[in-house]
Amino acid sequence: VLAHAAQEYQARPPLALSPEQAELQDGLLDRPAHIDPKFLYDALGSSLFTAITLLPEYYPTRCETEIFQRHGQDIARHIGPVQSMIDLGAGDCVKAERLFASLRPRHYIPIDISADYLQTAVRRLKLSYPDLQVTAIGQDFSQALALPAVISTEQRLFFYPGSSIGNLSPDDAHAMLQRIRAQCDGGGLLVGVDRVKPRQVLEPAYDDALHLTAAFNLNLLRHVNRVLDADFNVDDWRHVALYNSARSRIEMHLEAQRPLHVAWPGGGRAFHAGERIHTENSYKFTPHAFSDLLQSAGFRDVAHWSDSRGWFSVFSARA
Ligand code: AVJ
């Protein structure tokens, strides 16, 4: 074993990091430190997010469901015929499933970074919809959108629900929309966005009384420990969620509870008490601002629908 280890040690540089590890290390060494929110979604994180959507404080999922229920026919008419439905960040695939009856896609392509979680969902889906062609893709689509050739370029619908686009900075959201548009010439996009609203509504949605969102945020450290072989201790950190009204975004952070040091192979960093790691932004939009963003990315025929309280919006647009 030793000889083998020594050989390995010589064969490649000992500190060679995978792109994922390098990304984590760079973010942790930055000041302030940050970790991309995609690391929230390991198998447990995806399950915790599903639980969050059932919380009374977390309104976005219920608002979006209400919109699809009340305006589903209208939305389906605006979209027109759908050959392939590409679900960005599909998770448990439940949102797309509810639209199958009205949109009638022939081919469903769920994409999610949490590949195991997606596999479980897809097994269930294939039993319920034996005639639907399903191509599951376990992929991080935040940087590039690579679709296999089996997916027809005809009548594509990109489905980007839940206000996941709110995780991206305005520049990154614009780039993502342009990438989507480039992939769905003649097709369309159906996207959910959360709206600007009072802090009294926003903050409890991201800092709930049962502390599920705290667990969701802290679980990211366990995911980082596995990916980077780091030694974060979840007990040393506290969940912080606050609304940054100047930038129209909820920010999630993890705050060190005492001075501490975190180490990983080839690196490490000290944090002082109260120092934070920025783990997520969740941008909130006015319908006007989001409509402008869609148009600036080249979309046209923009339509939108809202829930009865005007807390959430669903946009449909043509590429
Ligand atoms: C899945 C990105 C839409 O921003 O509301 C939920 C993630 N973070 N609670 C959101 C999340 C904390 C969620 N998105």
CB 187 less than 6 A from any atom of ligand 1: no
Which of 38, 54, 159, 163 has most ligand 1 atoms within 8 Å of CB, for mutation? 163
- Residue 3: the pLDDT is 53
In this prediction, residue 145 carries a pLDDT of 87
What is the model's pLDDT at position 4? 59
Length of the chain: 319
Residue nearest to ligand 1 atom 9, measured at CA: 206
Residue 157: CA count within 13 A, CB half-sphere: 26
Q: Which two tokens stand for residue 274?
A: 């109260």
Spans of the chain below 50 pLDDT: 1
Residue 21 Cβ inside 6 Å of ligand 1? The answer reads: no
pLDDT per position as a tens digit, 20-30 = 999 999 999 99
Q: Can the peptide bond before residue 204 be classed as cis, meaning omega within 30 degrees of 0?
A: no
291 lines ligand 1 (CB under 6 A): no
**Strands, DSSP E only, in the chain?**
33-34, 84-88, 107-112, 133-134, 137-138, 156-160, 188-194, 237-244, 249-256, 260-264, 267-271, 276-283, 300-306, 312-318
Q: Quick one: CA dihedral 223, 239, 257, 34, positive or negative?
A: positive
Atom of ligand 1 nearest to the CA of 49: 6
CA of 77 to the centre of ligand 1 (A): 29
Judge if the beta carbon of residue 207 lies within 6 A of ligand 1.
Answer: no
Residue 8 to residue 149: CA distance in whole angstroms: 38
Return d(Cα 57, Cα 160) in angstroms, integer.
22
- Whether ligand 1 lies within 6 angstroms of the CB of 206 is answered as yes
128-137 confidence digits (pLDDT tens): 999 999 999 9
What is the Å distance from ligand 1's center to 52 Cα? 9
CA of 164 to the centre of ligand 1 (A): 7
User: What's the pLDDT score for residue 185?
Assistant: 74
* Contact 89 CB / ligand 1 (< 6 Å): no
For 121-157, b/e burial (b = at least 16 CB within 10 A) is bbeebeeeeeebeebbbeeebbeebebeeebeeebbb
Distance 13 CA to ligand 1 centre (A): 38
Q: Is 161 in the pocket of ligand 1 (CB under 6 A)?
A: no
